[in-house]
Amino acid sequence: MKVSQSIITIMTLALVMPFGNAYDPSPLQDFCVAVNNLNNGVFVNGKFCKDPKQAKAEDFFYSGLNMAGNTDNKVKSNVTTVNVDQIPGLNTMGISLVRIDYAPYGQNPPHTHPRGTEILVLIEGTLYVGFVSSNQDNNRLFAKILHPGDVFVFPIGMIHFQVNVGKTPAVAFAGLSSQNAGVITIADTVFGSNPPINPEVLAQAFQLDINVVKDLEAKFKN
């Protein structure tokens, strides 16, 4: 009797556990084109989806990545994003794309993507790129000098950066494993939050004079 009960228990667990851990890593339909009309959509992955029968080629199309972005700014770089907001057909697909332009000595400053891994290919110029691992991995720096045709991967959630170390403009394209990977620029987030973080907190955290922190907050104020 005890053996039979054990067998039944094991069989029950074998049947229940897969359902308890199951998830859908991929869409369960051909596509789910995002739409802003709440009356004619179904809410999926943060967007409302139009009736598939109304989908058209334009829902999966974007034009303009052949054009350089404006790098006339403080960091001397520009990121042109192509995610679900630009291509509605990307909804639920788990992928997006960016073009990054760098003026000479420009940079894409330290930042992180909370929802996606990034794979970058350099088309023109020379970049110094890298990411820093987590505290449990002792914050190791993984960095390389890239030349045209080189590829580098930035794991999801890791703080990373790219710097143009050449005297000419640089261009890179990157794919991200999310329809909207998000971006958190470290300096802007820490010193430019709204409302500001108490300067005393940041002074202790970064081991800086409080006046230096106040100056940084003034510079990064939204």
Question: For residue 149, what are the CA distances in angstroms to 6, 10, 62, 145, 173?
Answer: 59, 53, 24, 12, 11
The overall average pLDDT reported for the chain is 87
The two beta strands, 184-185 and 107-112, are: antiparallel
Taking residues 159-166, what's their average pLDDT? 98
| pTM higher than the cut 0.85 | no
pLDDT tens digits, one per residue of 76-126: 999 999 999 999 999 888 999 999 999 999 999 999 999 999 999 999 999
Is 118 flagged in the annotation as binding? yes
Q: For residue 115, which phi and psi values (nearest 5 degrees)?
A: -125, 15
Asked if residue 147 belongs to a known ligand binding site, the reply is no
Q: Which CATH architecture is the domain 66-218 placed in?
A: Sandwich (2.60)
Question: What does the domain layout of the chain look like in residue ranges?
Answer: 66-218
The answer to the question of whether 58 is labelled as a binding residue is no
Which pLDDT value is given to residue 23? 36
* CA 21 to centroid of chain Cα atoms: 26
Residues 141 and 161: their CA atoms lie apart, in Å, by: 11
Dump pLDDT digits (tens) for 14-44: 444 444 444 334 565 667 788 776 666 555 5
